Homo-oligomer: A and B are copies of this chain.
């Protein structure tokens, strides 16, 4: 049975079910495990000796929260992360996660004017790899300010990119239909991959090892088996999975 690629609506529904009274998860728990999986994916592909400086670009929502968690873990792993927050989130958990990064002496760049991209330009010139945690599965095109200025600069940097869940700018179900999205080298899907990344050609990992078997069966996810006690599993490349 093939793994299921999720619509935006189904991804939302699974999240809600996990955090409902019966699912009993808190967002703190899920974000911690998701962000850890993102950090481990980046560390699996880009070693800290050659790629120590990670620019973690975060949006204002839960995806940005995953990025903040990942930044902290990357700091713990010995990387030199910098967090870029063109539009900081307003939720309490988001602020706490940002404080946790500050307590780790991780620089946080928040442009004084949202349209000022000079801090981003400078940060890109001093980075080895990008972690893209800008937009998640609740993104709806088009890309709005200030992110319409951010995405082209990230692309122009030619740095390797690890995207979280859905490459920023891509439609969650239709992919990069307008050609304005980032083109990551590595993707880490959370919980289950989304429809829009079905033809993604780079290295593709899955994280979010917290879906109970019953939920997997209820939604027919057919999640792959994770190895040992890892929090991530690499998915077969598009060509290989078609052979399966």
Which of A's residues lie within 8 Å of B, judged by CB? 22-26, 28-29, 32-33, 36, 39-40, 43-44, 72-73, 76-77, 93, 95-97, 99-100, 103-105, 209-210, 212-215, 226, 228-229
Closest-by-CB residue of B relative to A27 is: B28
Contact B29–A212 (Cβ < 8 Å): no
Residues of B within 8 A of A72 (CB): 210
Known: A22-B99, A212-B104, A214-B103. A77 touches B228 (CB 8 A): yes
Known: A210-B76, A213-B105, A226-B76. A96 touches B22 (CB 8 A): no
Bound Cα distance from A180 to B215, whole angstroms: 43
Contact B103–A22 (Cβ < 8 Å): yes
Contact B96–A26 (Cβ < 8 Å): yes
Quickly give the copy total for this chain. Answer: 2
Bound Cα distance from A29 to B99, whole angstroms: 14
Contact A214–B105 (Cβ < 8 Å): yes
Residue in contact with A96 in the complex, picked from B24, B77, B96, CB distance below 8 Å: B24
For residue A151, give the distance in angstroms from its CB to the closest CB of chain B.
Answer: 28
Bound Cα distance from A24 to B68, whole angstroms: 13
Contact A212–B103 (Cβ < 8 Å): yes
Closest-by-CB residue of B relative to A95 is: B24
Contact A40–B99 (Cβ < 8 Å): no
Residues of B within 8 A of A22 (CB): 99, 103
Closest 5 CB pairs of A and B: A28-B28, A24-B99, A24-B96, A43-B229, A103-B212
9 contacts between A and B (CB under 8 A): A22-B103, A24-B95, A24-B99, A24-B100, A26-B26, A26-B93, A33-B36, A72-B210, A76-B209
**Which of A22, A28, A39, A214 has the most CB atoms of chain B within a 10 A radius of its CB?**
A28
Bound Cα distance from A209 to B69, whole angstroms: 13
Contact A26–B28 (Cβ < 8 Å): yes
Bound Cα distance from A105 to B226, whole angstroms: 19
Residues of B within 8 A of A215 (CB): 103
Closest-by-CB residue of B relative to A96 is: B24
Bound Cα distance from A29 to B215, whole angstroms: 23
For residue A52, give the distance in angstroms from its CB to the closest CB of chain B.
Answer: 14
Q: A26-B28, A105-B213 are in contact. List 16 more A-B contacts (CB 8 A).
A: A22-B103, A23-B100, A24-B95, A24-B96, A24-B103, A26-B26, A26-B96, A28-B32, A29-B32, A40-B229, A43-B228, A44-B229, A73-B209, A76-B210, A77-B228, A105-B212
